[in-house]
Structure 1
Amino acid sequence: MKRVLLLLADGFEIYEASVFIDVIGWNLTAGNGETELFTCGIKKETKSTFNQTLIVDFLLDEIKIDDFEALAIPGGFEEYNFYAEAYNNKFTEIIKSFHEKEKIIASICTGAFPIAKSGILEGKKGTTYNQNPVRQETLRNMGVNVVNEPIVLETNIITSWNPSTAMDVAFLLLEKLTNKENTNLIKKKMGF
């Protein structure tokens, strides 16, 4: 079984988290059945961007990196204090640990910021929210070579620029965990 860890900070965008849950879940039920997703946060109850509360499966301190093949990180809103937890040392350390083990890291929108904060994107290509130039400039100031493309793949790290890319990122993650044929099957079954 290939397990995906969905890393959630307070203020995470629920749509961006849900695409990972759905695509990985659809594969478990209607695809090759080889993927599972678990949620994780700094605390047991994590609030989304619009104040929905999610009870996570694991706390960061409980995670054993070797139990997972991939890390998924949705973005979030500054107005809902996303960066307070996303920039937390525990949060960035788990990102570094996944990278050191050469595991897949997939992010959507501002989910690129904690990846950059961890240092693993320094001098590498990446992207983030493209509807406000401040976001891309912030990523650039964190040492990332910002590419103005919807999805950027840099070794095992996937970044994307806004919620419109969310499903494509989730499907790309599934393809990396399984294969293109299986991913196309899930896309078809989901109506894409």
Structure 2
Amino acid sequence: MKKVLLLLANGFEFFEASVFIDVIGWNLEEGDNSTKLYTCGVTKEVKSSFDQTLVVDYRIDEIDVNDFDALALPGGFEVYGFYNDAYSDKFLDLIRAFRTGNKVIASICVGALPLAKSGVLKGKNGTTYRSTVRREALQNFGVNVLDQPIVLDDQLITSWNPSTAVDVALLLLELLTTKENAEKVRKLMGF
């Protein structure tokens, strides 16, 4: 069983998180049955953008990176405190540990920024939300910013906004299983 850890910061976007939950879950039930997703946050309860609360499976300090095959990070809104958790030492250290373990890391929208701040994207190609401020921040972290919807560089996936979310989750599934399996799940989900 391939295990995906969905890392959530306070202020995360529920839609961007939900695509990972659904794609990995659809694969568990209707695809090749080889993936399972678990949620994680700095605290046991994580508040999303727009103030919904999710109780996660694990707190960061309970995670053994060796138990997981991939990390998924949705973006979020600054006004809901996204960067408070996403730029915290615990959050960044967990990202670095996944990278050290040579695991796939998938992010959506500004989920690329904690990847970049952690240093795992330094010298790599990437993208993020299509605003000057966010792209400059990514570039200032040493990332070669590309103007394309999804960028895959050395098992690191970044994307530019919520419209890319389903494709990012399916690319993650493809990297964990096969292209054929990911296409099967895509069709079953109607995309």
Q: Shorter-chain TM-score: which interval?
A: over 0.9
Question: How many Å apart are 1:44 and its aligned residue?
Answer: 0.4
Give the whole-Å Cα distance in 2 for the aligned partners of 1:185 and 1:32: 9
Partner residue in 2 for 1:51: 51
Post-superposition, which runs of at least 4 consecutive aligned residues in structure 1 deviate over 6 A? Answer: none
Partner residue in 1 for 2:79: 79
Question: How many Å apart are 1:38 and its aligned residue?
Answer: 0.2
Q: Percent identity?
A: 63
Give the whole-Å Cα distance in 2 for the aligned partners of 1:49 and 1:165: 18
1:35-184 correspondence runs (5 A):
35-130=35-130, 132-184=131-183
Give the whole-Å Cα distance in 2 for the aligned partners of 1:173 and 1:109: 15
Give the whole-Å Cα distance in 2 for the aligned partners of 1:172 and 1:44: 28
Give the whole-Å Cα distance in 1 for the aligned partners of 2:133 and 2:55: 32
SS at match of 1:12: coil
Give the whole-Å Cα distance in 1 for the aligned partners of 2:162 and 2:41: 21
Give the whole-Å Cα distance in 2 for the aligned partners of 1:42 and 1:28: 26
Partner residue in 1 for 2:27: 27
Query: Alignment RMSD, CA only?
Result: 0.5
Structure 2 unpaired stretches of 5+: none
TM-score (norm 2): 0.99
**Counterpart residue identity of residue 57, structure 1:** D
Partner residue in 2 for 1:2: 2
SS at match of 2:40: strand
**Counterpart residue identity of residue 186, structure 1:** V
Residues 139-181 of structure 1, C-alpha deviation per residue, up to 9 Å, x if partnerless? 1111111011100111010000000000000000000011011
Q: How many positions carry a matched residue from both structures?
A: 191
Give the whole-Å Cα distance in 2 for the aligned partners of 1:81 and 1:102: 29
SS at match of 2:111: helix
